[in-house]
Amino acid sequence: MKVIATAGHVDHGKSALVEALTGIHPDRLAEERARGMTIDLGFAWMKLPSGEEVGIVDVPGHIDFIHNMLAGVGGIDAALLVVAADEGVMPQTREHLDILDLLELERGVIALTKIDLVDDPDWLALVAEEVRELLASTRLVAAPIVPVSAHTGAGLEALRAALATVLATAPPRPDLGRPRLPIDRVFTIAGFGTVVTGTLVDGSLHLGDEVVILPGELKARIRGLQTHKTKREVAVPGSRVAVNLSGVRPDQIARGHVLTYPNLIRETRRVDVRLRVLATAPVPLRHNMTITFHSAAAETPGRLRLLEADELPPGATGWVQIELHKPLALARGDHFIVRRPSPSQTLGGGVILDPIPLRRHRRRRPEVMAHFELLWRGTPADLLEDLIARAGPLPAAQALAAVPLPADQAQAALAALQRTGRVEPLDPTDPTSPLITPAGWETLRHRLTALLASFHQAYPLRLGMGREEVKSRLQPRIGWSTRLFNAIVARAVAEGAVREIGTSLALPDFQPHFTPAQQAAVDRLLAQFRAAPFNPPAVRDSIEAVGEDVFNALLEQQVLIRVAADVVFTRSAYEDMVAAICRYIDEHGSITVATCRDLFGTSRKYALALLEYLDQIRITRREGDMRVRW
């Protein structure tokens, strides 16, 4: 199923021509009928001579409604550029043609309308020649020009035949398994509820399926599907679709939102693009320039970050990162247009290379330029490898979803990468684990060991760095799942690059060490502990004797065991006391605080602190005034 869109200057007869072709007047607003001018998008359909149905999007021609025109020309197969024979090429003819060329639309038909108002055949030939000159530098250079009159019907059959010929060369829309419906209209039907419409791309929609509306992850269910007012069980890519939704209100959805399946597409506030400036642009594009960004039915203010130079002159092409004012749901390969907000004018456009860049790129960096070149010219395998190299470790499903390829092509490219060793599972023993490139693993392992080395240098008394701190420091911007981080650590440990110590990580050859002065202080303190193992020095006195850092190191190394905020024992004394308490309970059934105090010749403070600690770690359990084994 194919879709065409009209284009052309205001009052050149686009809507009248659509009505003459289809029998459907596309203007649906009362104001449009009253003013005789299309303001918003209109929709109709017709049958070609072959019997194939074709959807038609009628767009406004007035300069004030270019944003509505842009919402209608995304995802079309061909354009019907309308030029009134009595007026010829006008300003919006040129701007609409510029937009079609920036969208890289290669199929179209030119309708010379209102020929019933032109008596002079030489004038008609002159207008046709003017149009041909206008098309010369665009992708529509070979588009047929068909004189036609919506009023008399002259030329309508020739126009239908020309459209059929052009559309016959359009390939079927691919089914990439990730349906997207850029929403261009939202309304309510009594008894049915919320309805959205758009041109479906990249996949099929099925009746009854759960869907999400992006941005915002608004959940809904498909209650009904229609194409050209015919009910469907399945809507196919490339068709105009009306979707009746349950679970959402119309005021929750707006033009520019995207209907898709859950977990297929992520919204973004930043895109990497190849941008071409119109040769007729009134000003060069400058770094940090504010623009209006349009893609499919979406529109938002944005800011240009030129990565190669401070400006792009008219006619130039460059690598650009665009910061978006609000989140949009976009995909690699989507076309876009940028316009000057005031005075409103189209400046350029291009293709999205990366809809979810990992970072804000630094300007004038050779590696950034090389990355963009790869995105632009690389093979499917190159794109997958680059994605995994930059974002890895990455689950295979996520990597496959990030490239605009049919599922079988993407799977074949990934299989080739794994077969040749260009990518590998993070866990070599688990082929389903996330993927990483060999160079990516070396880089990640080096970052991990460098992070630990820096930590050891800063904290020579600590056994190691806590796992959670390592996780957040190693990947601070996005963060890894615990499962993925554990897999990274497991591989590093298996390769001998890292050592696990409880909940901490350390380099394999690292050992905490005290300075001679610190060691002397430690020896003196431990001598006090050994002199009275069950009546040890107070915590405050211990810290004063060796310093807080050294005291904490003794706790971490378990030279000292802390059983309460102000009570510590040496490990040997603690182990002796625990063993004695357990033997006593086994022999007598229970133990009291007083008995524990007398058993070790200590004070109630130490006995109570120890028993409460043993309750916490489930060696003993309190029953009234007694402790029994857990």
d(CA 107, CA 135): 12
pTM of the predicted structure, to 2 decimals: 0.69
d(CA 116, CA 241): 36
Query: For residues 397 and 343, is the Cβ–Cβ distance under 8 A?
Result: no
Residue 141, C-beta contacts closer than 8 angstroms, at least 6 positions apart: 135
Which residues of the chain are modeled with pLDDT < 70? 27-40, 61-69, 71-72, 404-406, 476-479
Ranges of beta strands (E only) in 65-177 are: 78-84, 108-113, 145-147
Q: Quick check: bond before 313 cis, omega within 30?
A: no
pLDDT at 33 (0 to 100): 47
Q: Rounded to 10 degrees, what is the CA torsion of 394, 396, 397, 398?
A: 20
pLDDT at 481 (0 to 100): 82
pLDDT at 410 (0 to 100): 84
pLDDT at 602 (0 to 100): 96
- 57-86, pLDDT tens digit by residue? 888 755 554 666 676 677 899 999 999 999
Q: Which helix H or strand E contains 440, and what residues bound it?
A: helix 438-458
pLDDT at 405 (0 to 100): 61
pLDDT at 402 (0 to 100): 72
pLDDT at 196 (0 to 100): 96
Tokens encoding 263: 């977990």
pLDDT at 252 (0 to 100): 96
Cα angle for residues 601, 606, 610 (degrees, 5° grid): 110
- Residue at token pair 């092409």: 317
- 506-527, pLDDT tens digit by residue? 999 998 889 899 999 999 999 9
Ranges of beta strands (E only) in 15-87 are: 42-47, 53-58, 78-84
pLDDT at 29 (0 to 100): 47
Q: What letter does residue 27 receive in the DSSP assignment? A: -
CA separation, residue 336 to residues 89, 95, 202, 258, 552 (Å)? 25, 15, 17, 15, 58
Query: For residues 31 and 62, is the Cβ–Cβ distance under 8 A?
Result: no
pLDDT at 75 (0 to 100): 80
Q: Residue 370 burial (CB < 10 Å; 0-12/13-18/19+)?
A: exposed
pLDDT at 476 (0 to 100): 57
